[in-house]
Structure 1
């Protein structure tokens, strides 16, 4: 708090169109004002300045950007520097097509609106837990001190993210991305893609094989059925399987 003992000092308190409050002092013998106090200190101090899924960069070319893989919800509003509408995904998430995470370094974490906290998880466990839940949109360590521990997961839009310099923050955030978006992101900025496709494919193949074996036992044309199945599974990377040997074992 600023106090003046000299009653001759003239001060003024102003609020601009962006909601920034300034206390200024009139310089003696001139008409110039000197700013003594500003709140917030910069535009990134405003809550949710860049809207949902946006990131505030006080030293960037523009103060607000969309997160990687996101685009402005309203291009018209962003063109006039109104970022309140935030950003939406360029490609919707789809657990069945494989997903991964992009790493945002040195940031203030999003507001804790829809989240879960697991204090005993490490970062690798946190990633696996988030990946299992199709509603999980991002994860991070909850405590970055001395080795980093704990797990925070978000389940909605990410609001009030701010970028800091390296000396001001060691907090990283991992944002969920569809496989198609990860293809365009440098490997140093992403985690290894985790895909559920091989698992699903394996289950389907096993189910089809089981059905074919049972059908062969009930069918007189078992040999033709076996040949047909072998043709179906004759694909690169998949071994040919002899249904007769399988059924006998």
Structure 2
């Protein structure tokens, strides 16, 4: 029986289905190719550097995730054969403002992320100070952990693994975040009457100190939360044979001013 692995893409995939712009639609499989390009970026926070990268990712995606028969059929029958047959003739360009272009003679696919939605977790400042619903929506699309192998390739796990990860984070928060004195334990901003936590993308590499993904700065904190968070992450990586995890949390490192 194929393992159930819908948790990651049930959160991430729906963002991209209506957000691509095309120069040409001469080939009917472009909308599905767009989904694959978007999901590649959602996993790596960059576009494929080569057609080979996109082929490899598409094959892994098909093997692991696709429950949509129309998408699966189109990927297998049209997209993969097209990419494999023409990979030496397809040129790839990544232009300003995250525009990603694939060209082969008269066929051109241009993928343009919508201007109101940044792809990178490092662009969260775009939302800080704005309506809480917008900021929480941003967090929701990035909260699922990305796990990578020793050769820096994404690993797709069954739903239960992602759920166990979230449960482990939640238990560590409950045990080691002190809210007994009524203070706010994370960095935040104020919007009208709402106190909104500031989320940060964190990076853990097996056996190494926890870091902020965007600044590449080590989290220097004596907080028991971060100390025990690293213990949990090390056990998780060892159990599931992953080298690196990217995940988003409220920023509990209050060494600086906690209100932004």
TM-score normalised according to structure 2 size: 0.25
TM-score normalised according to structure 1 size: 0.25
The structure showing larger relative contact order (alpha-carbon pairs under 8 Å, at least 6 residues apart) is 2
> Structure 1 or 2: larger strand share?
1
> Structure 1 or 2: larger helix share?
2
